[in-house]
Amino acid sequence: MNIFTPIKINGMVVKNRFVRSATQESLATPEGFASERLTNVLVELAKNELGMIITGHAFVSPEGRAGNLQQSAASFDAVNSFRETVDQIHKYGGKVVLQLAHAGGYAKDADNAVGPSSFIARDGRKPCREMTKSEIAHAVSCFANAARRAEECGFDGVQLHAAHGYLLSEFLSPYYNKRQDEYNGDADNRARFLFETLEAVRAAVSPDFPVMVKINAENFIDDGCFAALPGIMAGMEKRGLDAVELSGALPVSPPQFMTIRPGDIKPNAPAYYEEQAKILKTQLHIPVIVVGGIRYREQAERMISENVCDMVSLCRPLIREPELIARWQEDPTRAACISCNRCLRPLITGRDYCCPIKNQLH
Ligand SMILES: Cc1cc2nc3c(=O)[nH]c(=O)nc-3n(C[C@H](O)[C@H](O)[C@H](O)COP(=O)(O)O)c2cc1C
């Protein structure tokens, strides 16, 4: 077994162990539909041997929308606008997974933003509103409908975005979740919304259609995130989860631990959540994917051969070098990405998705 051997995730066979982690390109149309440029970005990855491409997070309902030019999973037409993109990715032997998200208290429309409890996402913004139980049930059905659309429109799987402080992860975190009802109290109760979502999604799609989750290994702000994870993951396995991608951090975590951690990676450095993956891997029966800080082919090889994880996932290195995985088949030179985080700037300023260093933009 090595980084270029296939792996099966439920009914899907992925040709190698490389994943493009979900990356919001902000290249959809204002309505959240596919654009030519977005299609080109995703297909370019498939042409270059990426085994499994996870789309940028797609909002499952209008109130869960995170930003302008974000892609939508909130209507059949929006998801179906990616059919040509999906077909082209398949032509090159790649698989494509739709990441489903609700931005919770961080949603773009602050006036209608909801969360597990009320909190202020940013200075100067009004607090989000605590969700009622019927709003929770509605959000669950939005995830399920979005997953059904993904399967109908040819996607190979879905990934529930339960990381980074968006709605599903807000419920999991005692920092955001101060509810007095059965959606809080202990880790199992905080996972209730995620469990309900997974059950509804699983029921909405075919039994062999892969359903995955991206979840935080650490929040770096509230206690017990990793301690609760084996229990949450066991609950998700029981409910039919097919794979987990381990990530970490919330928007309120200390800057050195942010999801998109600044600072170049030295050879032989562990990936951000490698220690946690190693432990979790011994407890789970489904494939474990690790994202964050992977910049060397040797690092990826080591993680797979030492059974730290089953797949490795990359984001920033593929913004800089969409051809990286094809290149690594021949040439093990490290990824050019130095984690300077300037790739975030185009998203914030509305400029095009790119690596500003490669494109010499200042
Ligand atoms: C421009 C940009 C957009 C991102 N968009 C998403 C997203 O839509 N969904 C998600 O789960 N993570 C998103 N992330 C986080 C990445 O998937 C990944 O977890 C993080 O960048 C760490 O991996 P890396 O060290 O390989 O970059 C984004 C990161 C960047 C830099």
- Residue 337 in any domain: the answer is yes
Distance from Cα 116 to the centre of ligand 1, integer Å: 23
Give me the residue label for tokens 């300077």. 340
Give me the residue label for tokens 């399920």. 144
Give me the residue label for tokens 């800057």. 255
Are residues 5 and 14 in contact, defined by beta-carbon separation less than 8 angstroms? no
Question: Is residue 362 pLDDT above 60, yes or no?
Answer: no
- Residue 153 in any domain: the answer is yes
- The residue to mutate among 23, 161, 357, having the most atoms of ligand 1 within 8 angstroms of its beta carbon, is 23
Closest CA to 33 of 89, 102, 80: 80
Distance from Cα 233 to the centre of ligand 1, integer Å: 22
Distance from Cα 211 to the centre of ligand 1, integer Å: 19
- Residue 358 in any domain: the answer is no
Whether the CB of 24 sits within 6 Å of ligand 1: yes
Measure the CA–CA gap between 44 and 41, rounded to whole angstroms.
5
Instruction: List, for residues 6-51, the tens digit of each pLDDT value.
Output: 999 999 999 999 999 999 999 999 999 999 999 999 999 999 999 9
Question: Is residue 361 pLDDT above 80, yes or no?
Answer: no
3-state secondary structure of 118: coil
Torsion angle of the four alpha carbons 264, 52, 229, 218, in this order, in degrees rounded to the nearest 10: 20
Please identify, by atom number, the ligand 1 atom nearest to the C-alpha of residue 316. Answer: 27
- Residue 195 in any domain: the answer is yes
Give 127's contacts (C-beta < 8 A, 6+ positions apart). Answer: 105, 118, 119, 120
- Residue 343 in any domain: the answer is yes
Looking at residue 351, the DSSP 8-state letter turns out to be P
Domain membership of residue 287 as a residue range = 7-349
Whether the CB of 343 sits within 6 Å of ligand 1: yes
Protein residue with least CA distance to atom 20, ligand 1: 260
- Residue 175 in any domain: the answer is yes
Whether the CB of 247 sits within 6 Å of ligand 1: yes
Whether the CB of 295 sits within 6 Å of ligand 1: no
Q: Which element (helix H / strand E) includes 18?
A: strand 18-20
Protein residue with least CA distance to atom 11, ligand 1: 22
- Residue 354 in any domain: the answer is no
- Residue 362 in any domain: the answer is no
Whether the CB of 99 sits within 6 Å of ligand 1: yes
Protein residue with least CA distance to atom 14, ligand 1: 23
Instruction: List, for residues 187-223, the tens digit of each pLDDT value.
Output: 999 999 999 999 999 999 999 999 999 999 999 998 7
CATH number of the domain that 172 lies in? 3.20.20.70
Give 135's contacts (C-beta < 8 A, 6+ positions apart). Answer: 114
Question: What are the b/e assignments for 147-163, b being 16+ CB within 10 Å?
Answer: bbbbbebbbbbbbbbbb
Protein residue with least CA distance to atom 1, ligand 1: 344
Please identify, by atom number, the ligand 1 atom nearest to the C-alpha of residue 314. Answer: 26
Please give the backbone phi and psi of residue 212, each rounded to the nearest 5 degrees, phi first. Answer: -120, 170
Domain count, the chain: 1
Please identify, by atom number, the ligand 1 atom nearest to the C-alpha of residue 343. Answer: 1
3-state secondary structure of 97: strand
Whether the CB of 248 sits within 6 Å of ligand 1: no
Instruction: List, for residues 130-159, the tens digit of each pLDDT value.
Output: 999 999 999 999 999 999 999 999 999 999
Give 259's contacts (C-beta < 8 A, 6+ positions apart). Answer: 163, 164, 247, 248, 249, 253, 292
Instruction: List, for residues 72-129, the tens digit of each pLDDT value.
Output: 999 999 999 999 999 999 999 999 999 999 999 999 999 999 999 999 999 899 999 9
Instruction: List, for residues 292-350, the tens digit of each pLDDT value.
Output: 999 999 999 999 999 999 999 999 999 999 999 999 999 999 999 999 999 998 777 76
